[in-house]
A and B are shown apart, each in its own frame.
Chain A
Amino acid sequence: GENVEQHPSTLSVQEGDSAVIKCTYSDSASNYFPWYKQELGKGPQLIIDIRSNVGEKKDQRIAVTLNKTAKHFSLHITETQPEDSAVYFCAASSGNDMRFGAGTRLTVKP
């Protein structure tokens, strides 16, 4: 089955700086890679996703890159704001099997 590793487990940045979270996956059949943001007391919410036929996708301050050869994908947040503080989960999906990474707690200090 799929195995997803996520790093770092915690990340603290100054407001306005960039944040990068990295994930690796094991199943070469995985073809869908969503990123979820979970704020305190809430369920995970999709913030961006990428499919295996695309190398990069951007939505305002958020971007995701995918390297299928290396089985790596990353989340990039630019111009971070205090409201970006949350736990971020990557996931990798192959057909009916979606696995989450362990999560990254991002703190943006004002």
Chain B
Amino acid sequence: DTEVTQTPKHLVMGMTNKKSLKCEQHMGHRAMYWYKQKAKKPPELMFVYSYEKLSINESVPSRFSPECPNSSLLNLHLHALQPEDSALYLCASSRIFGGANVLTFGAGSRLTVL
């Protein structure tokens, strides 16, 4: 299995809703990432988990809350989002964090905040 699976593929939510994005990989990778991608822009790093511990938080607002329940799963909990948070949210994984490690991306979850 060489895939990163993200669910849901599409999500529409109001500003008062609470929702979660999910990511799963079974490649034995010990680093997992959340990226945000706006239209016609490159991916922007949000969070990095290394060995299930949060290693990097790129000053992301607290309305985004990551969680890594185990080495295969990564969640992004969403609460009180703003319309400008609408974007493609990409999960990625790599064998370990740092250095010349190949990132494997999922297909993304497209989020629309009304």
- List residues of chain A with CB under 8 Å of any chain B CB: 31-32, 34, 36, 41-46, 49, 51, 89, 93, 95-96, 98, 100-103
Contact = CB atoms under 8 A, between A and B. Distances in A.
Q: How large is the interface on B (under 10, 10 to 19, 20 to 34, 35 or more residues)?
A: 20 to 34
Interface of B: 4, 40-43, 45, 48, 55-56, 90, 92, 97-100, 102-108
Given A43-B107, A43-B108, A34 B42 contact: no
Nearest to A100: B42
Contacts of B102: 34, 46, 49
Contacts of B98: 95-96
Nearest to B104: A46
A103 B107 contact: no
A93 B96 CA distance: 14
Given A43-B90, A102-B42, A96 B100 contact: no
Nearest to A103: B42
Contact of A103 (B41, B55, B90, B97): B41
A13 to B, nearest CB: 20
A32 to B, nearest CB: 4
- Of the listed residues A32, A43, A98, A101, the one surrounded by the most CB atoms of chain B closer than 10 A to its CB is A43
B104 to A, nearest CB: 8
Contact of A41 (B40, B55, B103, B107): B107
Q: Lowest 9 CB-CB distances: which A-B pairs, in order? A: A43-B105, A100-B42, A32-B100, A96-B98, A43-B107, A44-B105, A43-B108, A43-B106, A43-B90
A18 B108 CA distance: 30
Given A43-B105, A96-B97, A96-B98, 12 more contacts: A34-B102, A42-B107, A43-B106, A45-B105, A49-B100, A49-B102, A89-B42, A93-B100, A95-B99, A98-B45, A98-B103, A103-B42
